[in-house]
Chain A
Amino acid sequence: MYVAVKGGERAIAAAHGLLAEKRRGDTEVPELAVEQIDGQLSLAVDRVMSEGSLYDRRLAALAIKQARGDLIEAIFLLRAFRTTLPRFGASGPLDTGAMRVRRRISATYKDLPGGQVLGPTFDYTHRLLDFTLEAEGDVPPARTAPVSEGMMPRVADIIGGDDLIERNPPENPSRPIADLTREPIAFPADRDLRLQNLARGDEGFLLALGYSTQRGYGRTHPFVGEIRMGEVDVELFVEELGFAVPLGEITLTECQMVNQFAGSKTEPARFTRGYGLSFGHCERRAMSMSLVDRSLRADEFGEERKGPAQDEEFVLSHSDNVQATGFVEHLKLPHYVDFQAELALLRQMRQDLAQSTPAQEAAE
C-alpha cells in the first residue's frame, strides 16, 4: 500500500545536518579558519570576489568555507548577499595608471619606464609537486627590490602617445553607464555592458572562448601590451561635500591586449584594444576577458562574425555561472508531471502502431 511521502520537511533538515557535518570533516583535524582561507587560498578568494561582484576578502573566504571549497557555490553565496546591499553611490573611475604595482609585465617591449616586474607568479615555476609542503615549515622572507616611486606608465598610453592605438572614447557624463544588475540585458549591447558581463563571467567559460579565438574561431592577433596587478585607490564623489572622498584601496589585475590594426583611406591605421579587469590577482581571467572583449567588437571593425566568441548574444547569455549552474542543476528537481505526460503520449503512439501494423499485414 502506497503511502504519500510526507517527509519532505524532515528530509531537508536531515540533509542539511549531514552537509554541516561533511563540511567540518574530521573533527580530530583543526577547523579551517576564515583567515587561513583568505591568506593561504588567496587566489580562490580573488576569483570568488571577481565573479561574486563583491570586493570583500573576509566574506569571500567565509563563502568558500561554507561552500566546502566549491567556488561556484561560494560565488553564488556572495552574489545572494550582495544583491541585498543598499546602493548609496558609484565610485569615480579608478586610475590604474596610479596603481601601486606589485606585478607588471609587457610582451610588446623588452624594457620600458618602470621595467618588468615579475611579482608573485607561477610563471617559470617547474610544476613539480613540492612534498615539503606536506610538513609545516617556515618560508624564508622573500627578497624584493625597493618599490620604485618613479612612474610606471601604462603600455597602452605609451603606444597611444605615438597615436598608434585606437583612442579611448571620451567620457560622456550625460550617458549613464549600463548596469546589468539593475536593468535586464537587451541586445545589441554596448561595450560597457559587455565588459560588466565579462567581468563577472565564469573564468572557465571566458578561458575557453578566449582560447577558441587563438585557434581561429574569430582571430584577433593579440599581443599582451601589459598586465599589471597592484593596489588602486577607490574614491566616491560626495554631492553634499562637493569633493571626492577616498574609501580605501582594492587589488586589481588589468590586462590591456593590443590587437590587429584597423584603419581606412581617411583614418590612419592604429592598433585596436581588448580590455580585461578583475578584482585581486586573476591574471588568467583578465587575459581571457580581454581576448573576448576584442572579439565581441567584430561589428565595430567590420569583421565577419564567424566564431562563438564574436557572438554577443551567445557569450553574454551564457557567461554567468550562477545562472548556468542553477538551470543545469534544476534538472534534478522533480519533473514527474511532465514525464508522465511524455509517457502517456509515448504509450499512445506505440499503441497506435501496434493496432495499425496487423491491419496492414492483413491487407497485403
Chain B
Amino acid sequence: MTDNELIKLPVDYLPVHVQASVRETGLVKWLLIIISTLFLGFFLFIPLITVFAEAFRKGIAEYFNAFSDPAAIAAIRLTLITALIAIPANLIFGLAASWSIARFNFPGKNILITLIDLPFAISPVISGFIFVLFFGLQGWLGPWLAENDIKIIFAIPGIVLATIFVTFPFVARELIPLMQEQGNEEEQAAMLLGASGWKTFWKVTLPNVKWALLYGVILCNARAMGEFGAVSVVSGHIRGKTNTIPLHVEILYNEYNFVAAFAVASLLAFLALLTLAVKSIIEWKYKHP
C-alpha cells in the first residue's frame, strides 16, 4: 500500500464538507509543491549546478588542467591522509561509546551523551582555535613543543586533530540510539550459548548495526574531507604542505582563478553527491530489510 492510499482511505468515508476540510484541494497541494520546488531550486539546486557549470566553463582540458598542479595533488593527498586517520579514530570511539552507553546503566549517562554531541554545537572557527591555544607558540604546550622541535599547529598533526574534533560525534550518534532501541537480548543469548565477549560483538552486535555504522562513517568522511573553518585556523595555509582540498579551493578563488577553484571544488561536490546517494540507499535498506 502506498502512502497515498494510507492517507486516502479513512477520509473517503467522511461527509463531503468534512472531506474538503481534511484533504487539501489539488490546487493547494500543487501550489505547495511548486513553492517547495522553487525554494529548493533557488537555494540548493542552482548552487550545486553552478559548481559544475563554472568548472567546465572553459572546457574539459582546462578542467583537468587544475589537477595537474602539484599544489592540488598535495592538497588531495593531505585530505585523504587526514580522513584516513580521523575516520578510524572516531569509528573506534563510536563503537566503544555506544557499547558502554547502550548496553549498561550508569548515572550521568545523559550528560555523557550531551558531551559527545558537544563538537556539533561549537563554531568550527572556535574548534580550530582551541587547538591553537593548546599547542600554538603562545599556548600551553607551545614552548615545550618548540624546544623539542615538534610542530603541531600550522602542520599536519594540527589539521588531523581539528578534523577529529569536528567529526567526533558522527559515528557515536548514529550507533547509540539504534543500539539502545535494539536492546541486549540477542547478545545475552549469545553469551548464554557460550560465545565470548569478542565473538558476541563481532557476530551479533556488529551485523545488527552495520548500516548505521556505514551511515555514520560516510557522514564522518564527508565532513572530514570538507571541513573548512576549523582546519583553516590551524593550517597556516602553506601551499603544497598544509593545504587541504577546501583550503586549496579558497586560495584559487581568492586568486581569481575561478575555473581551477571550481574544478577542485567539483571533486568535493561529487563526493557530496556520492554521500547523498549512499545515504539514500542505506535508508532504503532500512525500510526494506
**Bound together:** no
Chain A residues packing against B (C-beta within 8 Å): none
Chain B residues packing against A (C-beta within 8 Å): none
